[in-house]
């Protein structure tokens, strides 16, 4: 196991670093402290050929290109303060109404105009025989993007010898505030040689949140049984596209757990022999198959990204949670510690 640090450029005169985490099984994960972005994840396939399985770029400048900025796909980043959409950018906390940025049509999305994905995080590194760790930390001041409370937040990326990228989120606040953190990595297990329609998906959920016309959940739920959204038995993602031509942007609800990581999803791709398992302590996951990802986006080596070329597993609190009566733990109170974990386990 080892972790190393190298220069990755500057943002507004501040140095940005790239951290390379490697285990003894040829798994290499690269993460920058600008936005906590997972820029690369290289693993072998069943034949031992190593290649990248996530969307990202090899230079910091590419994250500021006109094509990327215009499309805003949030490749690989930490999303906060609140992942997903908040209806009309408005919520009530402690009998006070707050208005935050409406950066997605009429709604608030992924923390606003300058969310956690656009911050430079402080860093600490450590390594042992069985894992190496990159810890990112940030202080979000009271009023940041319109949110109440000074928030101390940390995100730990652990790479293990079991080929797991374990992400632990922790935070404390001095005022009640909405909080939902996630990682927005896009995966393609065939290394972008094709779209993800032939990937087999298994998602352990019996229902998803029904969005309104502006794509925000407002309280309704839909059972997946008998619908194109049912992945309780593994099947190709593309099978559902006959009924859902735009693919998936569905928030799947999980059974409430005890704070222990539970396996919630498995994805596999036959030609590469690769499998991705997802475990989380979170109450649900937004499964997104990249309908809005621009075909103009590509890695510097020419690897083509674009529509339906990768999928996201955004484990987090309910979208629009502050405005949903039964949404679990969408508000962090003073004296509480936000402590959630998501694990991505790769096999080949």
The residue among 32, 34, 45 whose CA lies nearest residue 6 is 32
The single residue of 22, 133, 279, 314 carrying the catalytic annotation is 314
184 is catalytic: yes
The residue among 168, 151, 127 whose CA lies nearest residue 3 is 127
Beta bridge partners of 158: 133, 166
Produce one character per residue of 143-169: b if its CB has 16 or more CB atoms within 10 Å, e if not.
Answer: ebbbbbbbbebbbbbbbbeebbbbbbb
The single residue of 184, 249, 250, 279 carrying the catalytic annotation is 184
Task: Give the angle subtended at the CA of 290 by the CAs of 324 and 305, to the nearest 5°.
Answer: 150
| Token pair listed for 142 | 């009271």
In sequence order, what DSSP letters do the residues of 328-339 get, joined into one string?
TT-EEPTT--EE
d(CA 32, CA 342): 19
**What phi and psi values does residue 47 have, to the nearest 5 degrees?**
-95, 0
d(CA 74, CA 77): 6
Q: Would you give the DSSP letter of residue 216?
A: -
User: Look-up: residue for tokens 């790769």?
Assistant: 346
314 is catalytic: yes
Residues 200, 205, 211, 215, CA torsion sign: negative
347, 163 Cβ separation under 8 angstroms: yes
Catalytic residues, by residue number, are: 184, 314
């Amino acid at each position: 196991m080892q972790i190393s640090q190298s220069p990755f450029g500057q943002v507004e005169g501040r140095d940005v670093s790239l951290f390379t985490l490697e285990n003894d099984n040829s798994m290499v994960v690269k993460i920058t402290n600008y936005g906590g972005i997972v820029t690369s994840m290289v693993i072998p396939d069943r034949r031992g050929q190593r290649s990248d399985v996530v969307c990202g770029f090899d230079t910091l400048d590419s994250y500021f290109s006109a094509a990327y900025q215009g499309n805003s796909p949030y490749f690989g980043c930490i999303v906060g303060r609140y992942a997903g959409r908040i209806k009309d950018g408005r919520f009530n906390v402690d009998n006070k109404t707050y208005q935050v940025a409406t950066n997605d049509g009429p709604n608030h999305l992924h923390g606003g105009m300058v969310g956690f994905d656009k911050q430079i995080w402080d860093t600490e590194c450590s390594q042992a025989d069985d894992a190496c760790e990159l810890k990112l930390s940030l202080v979000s001041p009271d009023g940041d993007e319109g949110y109440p409370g000074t928030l101390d937040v940390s995100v730990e990326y652990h790479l293990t010898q079991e080929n797991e990228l374990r992400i632990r989120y922790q935070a404390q606040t001095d005022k009640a505030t909405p909080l939902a953190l996630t990682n927005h990595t896009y995966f393609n297990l065939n290394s972008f040689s094709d779209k993800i329609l032939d990937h087999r998906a298994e998602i352990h959920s019996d229902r998803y949140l029904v969005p309104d016309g502006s794509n925000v959940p407002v309280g309704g739920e839909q059972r997946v049984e008998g619908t194109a959204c049912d992945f309780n038995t593994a099947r190709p993602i593309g099978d559902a596209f006959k009924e859902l031509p735009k693919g998936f942007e569905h928030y799947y609800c999980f059974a409430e757990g005890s704070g222990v990581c539970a396996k919630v999803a498995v994805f596999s791709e036959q030609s590469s022999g690769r499998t991705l398992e997802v475990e989380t302590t979170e109450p649900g996951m937004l499964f997104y198959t990249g309908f809005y990802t621009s075909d103009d986006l590509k890695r510097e080596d020419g690897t083509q990204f674009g529509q339906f070329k990768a999928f996201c597993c955004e484990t987090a609190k309910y979208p629009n949670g502050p405005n949903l009566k039964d949404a679990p733990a969408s508000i962090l109170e003073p004296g509480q510690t936000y402590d959630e974990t998501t694990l991505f386990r790769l096999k080949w």
